[in-house]
């Protein structure tokens, strides 16, 4: 009885003592963390002293100067004010250096620094660790394994599947265009792209764009074969009435014409310059780096390759906000800019030829069937997410064109 009384009476004091110890330990941990953050900030200030930037708040950094949805506007402003590169303080003890000069980028892309984690780490549960997220030797092994699959000759047969996916989208647009109202095209184009990838990469039979199953009565007809994904390149791109691309002697002849679209290619590249799908790429320096102008950064600094900033840099592109396809006329692009619009170095886009083929097919087929007019009441507003996308969609007015036979470049 006496023992239980003593133990119960001493319990509150024991709990109080434990709480006091826990409080002291918590305060010590907080103090230790504050010291670490302070030392980190001082190290960053010293490491970035060669790179001027706008004044930043000691805690909030530059985040209060521009909201998240104005990141592109901030980039354009700093590109004009600070040559080559500019530090961006996310908060008190974390900063990254934005780079938007081609000579700076060539130095970084010529190295093997790992990708900065950033937002990419959130993709891992969905897409796993493939070429996008891997680094080092494992990335090199995967890249070497996949490279033959993207050889130019390997990609040629995919043109027919690309055309099939585009036709499904255009057929749906044709029905909607008669309603004489603007059409939002960003989502349908995204779905068409996904449709093409599932056909080419996974041999998917069918079309993700169709919102109903194929009519059994249509099986065996050209439309039915397209819906079921069984048609093999039924007609030449933009050449109605010609033999199907499935006939080898004509199919190979047509596919070779993708290289004979210089003006269309120039327009595509200029559009990608103005609106790069990936606005930036992060690298964490694995060793010190020195740039052509003598400025340097130590190991451990996160460098953001601002593709959007480079594409809109007035020191690189005169009148950068003007759409001018002649910038990409053969022989007119300086060598230092040659990695546009698919990056460069060892980690250049492995699927760039696939993407260019798909863009050429989509542009050619679309402009053979429709005249596209912007909706002045809903101008697209680009915003930065993992990729560049329109915040409010892309709204166009479509006017159906009379059916024509034959294609000439210049679309």
State how far the alpha carbon of 254 is from the alpha carbons of 157, 238, 376, in Å.
Answer: 11, 10, 37
Q: What residues are designated binding site for heme?
A: 349
**168 with 195: CB under 8 angstroms?**
yes
- HSE at residue 401, side-chain half, CA atoms within 13 A, is 14
Q: Which range has highest mean pLDDT (78-92, 234-248, 253-267)?
A: 78-92
Edge-to-edge strand list for the sheet holding 280-284: 85-91, 94-99, 302-306, 280-284
pLDDT score of 1 more than 60: no
Question: pTM of the full predicted structure?
Answer: 0.81
Residue found under tokens 């000069």:
101
| Cα 131 to Cα 348: distance, rounded to the nearest angstrom | 11
Residue 132: its pLDDT value, please? 81
pLDDT score of 37 more than 70: yes
* DSSP code string of 211-277: SSPPPGGGTTSHHHHHHHT---S-SBTTBTTSPPTTSHHHHHHHHGGGGG-HHHHHHHHHHHHHS-S
**411 with 367: CB under 8 angstroms?**
yes
The helix/strand/coil state of 99 is strand
pLDDT score of 288 more than 90: yes
Phi, psi of 89 (to 5 degrees): -90, 115
pLDDT score of 235 more than 50: no
Phi, psi of 233 (to 5 degrees): 55, 70
**143 with 133: CB under 8 angstroms?**
no
Cα Rg of the chain, angstroms: 28
Which tokens in the block code for residue 225? 């074969």
| Cα 342 to Cα 235: distance, rounded to the nearest angstrom | 30
Chain centre distance of CA 164? 24
Residue found under tokens 């990141």:
71
**155 with 357: CB under 8 angstroms?**
yes
Residue 40: its pLDDT value, please? 95
Q: What residues are designated binding site?
A: 349
As to burial, measured by CB atoms within 10 angstroms (0-12 exposed, 13-18 middle, 19+ buried), residue 194 is: middle
User: Taking residues 26-39, what's their average pLDDT?
Assistant: 94
Which tokens in the block code for residue 103? 């000579």
Q: What is the pLDDT of residues 153-189, one digit of tens each?
A: 888 889 989 999 999 999 999 988 877 789 999 999 9
Q: What is the pLDDT of residues 176-227, one digit of tens each?
A: 887 778 999 999 999 999 999 999 988 888 888 885 444 433 334 333 433 4
| Cα 30 to Cα 41: distance, rounded to the nearest angstrom | 16
| Cα 138 to Cα 184: distance, rounded to the nearest angstrom | 41
Please give the mean pLDDT across all residues of the chain. Answer: 81
For 92-106, 144-158, 188-202, 266-280, which range has the lowest pLDDT when averaged over its residues?
Answer: 144-158
b/e per residue, 355-376, with b = 16+ CB within 10 A? Answer: bbbbbbbbbbbbbbbbeeeebe
| Cα 70 to Cα 381: distance, rounded to the nearest angstrom | 10
Work out the pLDDT band at 306, boundaries 50, 70, 90: very high
Residue 180: its pLDDT value, please? 74
Q: Higher pLDDT residue, 65 or 25?
A: 25
Residue 397: its pLDDT value, please? 94
Residue 12: its pLDDT value, please? 61
* DSSP code string of 135-197: -HHHHHHHHHHHGGGG-HHHHTTHHHHHHHHHHHHHHHHHHHHTT-S-EE-HHHHHHHHHHHH
User: Taking residues 392-404, what's their average pLDDT?
Assistant: 89
């Amino acid at each position: 009885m006496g023992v239980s009384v003593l133990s119960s009476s001493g319990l509150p004091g024991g709990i109080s003592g434990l709480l006091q110890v826990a409080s002291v330990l918590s305060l010590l941990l907080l103090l230790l963390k504050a010291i670490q953050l302070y030392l980190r900030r001082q190290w960053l200030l010293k490491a970035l002293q060669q790179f001027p930037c706008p004044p930043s708040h000691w805690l909030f950094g530059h985040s209060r100067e521009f909201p998240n949805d104005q990141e592109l506007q901030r980039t354009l402003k700093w590109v004009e004010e600070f040559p080559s590169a500019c530090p961006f303080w996310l908060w008190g003890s974390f900063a990254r250096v934005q780079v938007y000069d081609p000579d700076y980028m060539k130095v970084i892309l010529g190295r093997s620094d790992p990708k900065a984690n950033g937002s990419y780490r959130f993709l891992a549960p969905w897409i796993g660790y493939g070429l996008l997220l891997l680094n080092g030797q494992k990335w090199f092994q995967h890249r070497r394994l996949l490279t033959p699959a993207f050889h130019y000759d390997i990609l040629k047969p995919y043109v027919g599947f690309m055309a099939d996916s585009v036709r499904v989208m255009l057929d749906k647009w044709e029905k909607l265009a008669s309603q004489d109202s603007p059409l939002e095209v960003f989502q349908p184009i995204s779905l068409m792209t996904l449709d093409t990838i599932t056909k080419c990469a996974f041999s998917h039979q069918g079309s993700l764009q169709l919102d109903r199953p194929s009519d059994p009565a249509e099986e065996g007809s050209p439309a039915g074969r397209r819906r079921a994904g069984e048609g093999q390149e039924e007609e030449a791109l933009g050449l109605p009435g010609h033999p199907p691309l499935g006939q080898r002697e004509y199919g190979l002849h047509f596919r070779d014409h993708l290289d004979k679209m210089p003006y269309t290619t120039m327009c595509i590249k200029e559009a990608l310059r103005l609106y790069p799908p990936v606005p930036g790429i992060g690298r964490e320096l694995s060793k010190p780096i020195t740039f052509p102008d003598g400025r340097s950064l130590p190991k451990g600094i996160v460098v953001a390759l601002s593709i959007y900033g480079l594409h809109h840099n007035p020191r690189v592109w005169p009148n950068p906000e003007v759409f001018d396809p002649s910038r990409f006329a053969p022989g007119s692009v300086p060598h230092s800019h040659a990695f546009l619009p698919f990056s460069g170095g060892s980690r250049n886009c492995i699927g760039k030829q696939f993407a260019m083929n798909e863009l050429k097919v989509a542009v050619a087929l679309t402009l053979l069937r429709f005249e596209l007019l912007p909706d002045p009441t809903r101008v697209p507003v680009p915003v930065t997410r993992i990729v560049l996308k329109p915040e409010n969609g892309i709204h166009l007015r479509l006017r159906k064109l009379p059916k024509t036979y034959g294609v000439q470049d210049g679309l």
